[in-house]
Amino acid sequence: MTLETIEPTKRFQEFFKKEKYRQRIAQLAISGKNSLTIDFEELYGFEQALAELLLAKPEEYLQHASRGAYEQLRIEDAIYAEKTEKIIVRVVRLLGKEQLRRLGSKNMSKLVMIEGIVVRATPVRPMVQIAAFKCKRCGTMNMTDQNGQFLRAPSICMSPDCGRDGPFEFTQEESTFIDSQDLRLQEKPEDLPPGQLPRVLAVKLIGDEIVDLARPGDHVSIVGIVRAFAPSLQGMGKLRTFILQLDANSVEVLGKEPETSPPTPEEEAQIIEISKDPTVHKKIMTSIAPSIFGNEHLKEAVMYLLFGGVSRALPDVNIRGEINALIIGDPGTAKSQLLQYISRIAPRGLYTSGRGTTAAGLTAAVVREKGGSMSLEAGALVLADKGIACIDEMDKMRPEDRVAIHEAMEQHTVSVAKGGIVATLNARTAVLAAANPTLGRYEPNRTVAENISLPVTILSRFDLIFVLRDIPNKESDKKMSKHILEMHRRGISPVEAQVNAEMLRKYVSYAKNIKPELGEESLKRLSDFYLAMRSASETEGSPVAITARQLESLVRVAEARARVALRPTVTPEDAEAAISIMKRSLEEVGIDLSNFKVDIDLIMTGRPKSIRDRLGTVLSTIIEMEKVTGMVERDTLVNELETKHKIPRGEIERMLSQLLREGTIYEPREGCLKKT
For every residue of 91-149, DSSP letters joined together read EE--SSPPPGGG--GGGTTSEEEEEEEEEEEPPPEEEEEEEEEEETTT--EEEEE--SS
pTM, rounded to two decimals: 0.66
CATH number at residue 419: 3.40.50.300
pLDDT for the residue 54: 92
User: Do residues 411 and 280 share a domain?
Assistant: yes
CATH number of domain containing 25: 3.30.1640.10
pLDDT at 559: 92
* Statement to judge: residues 19 and 165 lie in one domain: no
Alpha carbons 491 and 279: distance in angstroms, whole number: 28
Mean pLDDT of all residues in the chain?
83
Alpha-carbon distances, residue 197 vs 192, 246, 350, 357 (angstroms): 8, 20, 14, 16
**Domain check: are 245 and 284 in the same one?**
no
Does 286 fall in a domain? yes
At residue 422, does pLDDT exceed 70? yes
Instruction: Tell the burial category of 31 from Cβ atoms under 10 Å away from its Cβ (0-12, 13-18, 19+).
Output: exposed
pLDDT above 50 (res 3): no
pLDDT value at residue 56: 93
CATH number of the structural domain spanning residue 627: 1.10.10.10
Nearest to 381 by CA among 362, 368, 367: 362
Weakest mean pLDDT among 22-36, 81-95, 225-239, 576-590: 576-590
**50 and 190 part of one domain:** no
**pLDDT of amino acid 248:** 94
**Confidence (pLDDT) at 626:** 82
Q: Residue 466 above 70 pLDDT?
A: yes
Task: Give the total number of structural domains in the chain.
Answer: 4
If one counts every other C-beta atom within 10 angstroms of the C-beta of residue 660, the result is 14
Residue 127 clears pLDDT 80, i.e. is over it: yes
Q: Which residues contact 145 (CB under 8 A, 6 or more apart)?
A: 129, 130
Q: Is residue 544 situated within a structural domain? A: no
Please indicate, yes or no, whether residues 239 and 306 belong to a single structural domain of this protein. Answer: no
Percent of the chain exceeding pLDDT 70 equals: 92
pLDDT at 180: 93
Pair (161, 77) in one structural domain? no
Rounded distance between C-alpha atoms, residue 340 and residue 342, angstroms: 6
Find the range with the poorest average confidence among 1-10, 78-87, 93-102, 273-282.
Answer: 1-10
Residue 382: pLDDT band with limits 50, 70, 90: confident
Domain boundary among 511, 531, 557: 511
Is residue 534 a part of any domain in this protein? no
558 falls within a domain = no
Per-residue pLDDT of 529-579, as tens digits, reads 888 877 766 655 545 556 788 888 889 999 999 998 888 999 899 899 998
pLDDT at 1 over 60: no
Question: What was the pLDDT predicted at 203?
Answer: 95
> Do both 389 and 456 map to the same domain?
yes
Domain of 228, CATH number, reads 2.40.50.140
- Do residues 370 and 381 lie in contact, with contact meaning Cβ atoms separated by under 8 Å? no
In a domain, 576, yes or no: no
Same domain, 108 and 132: yes
What confidence tens digit (pLDDT) does each residue in 39-80 have? Answer: 999 999 998 989 999 999 999 999 999 999 998 888 888 888
Q: Report yes or no on 380 lying in a domain.
A: yes
CA angle 373, 374, 375 (to 5 degrees): 125
Q: Are 382 and 293 in contact (CB under 8 A)?
A: no
Same domain? For 270 and 225 the reply is no
- Predicted local confidence at residue 226, as pLDDT: 95
Q: Which of 94-108, 266-280, 282-296, 588-602 has the highest mean pLDDT?
A: 94-108
Locate all alpha helices (DSSP H) within 491-608, ordered by sequence. Answer: 501-511, 520-535, 548-564, 572-589, 601-604
The whole domain housing 344 covers 265-511
Cβ–Cβ < 8 Å for 130, 170: no
Distance, CA of 444 to CA of 469 (rounded, Å): 9
Instruction: Quickly state the pLDDT bin for 593 (edges 50, 70, 90).
Output: very low
Cβ-based neighbours of 109, under 8 Å, separated by 6 or more:
57, 58, 59, 225, 226, 227
pLDDT, tens digit (0-9, with 9 covering 90-100), for 171-224:
999 899 999 999 999 988 777 787 788 899 999 999 888 998 887 777 899 999
Task: Indicate if 104 and 84 belong to the same structural domain.
Answer: no
Q: Please indicate, yes or no, if residue 259 is contained in any of the structural domains.
A: no
Q: Same structural domain for residues 59 and 122?
A: no
* Residue 601: predicted pLDDT: 64
- Give me the mean pLDDT over the 319-326 stretch: 88
- The pLDDT assigned to 607 comes to 65
Give domain status of residue 350, yes or no.
Answer: yes
pLDDT in tens, 143-178: 888 887 788 888 888 888 887 787 888 999 989 999
Q: Which of 231, 253, 275 is the last residue of a domain?
A: 253
Same-domain pairing of 485 and 385: yes
Picking from 92, 120, 154, the residue at the C-terminal end of a domain is 92
Closest CA to 153 of 174, 137, 138, 171: 171
Q: Mind listing the pLDDT tens digit for each residue in 606-648?
A: 666 677 777 778 888 888 888 888 788 888 888 888 888 778 8
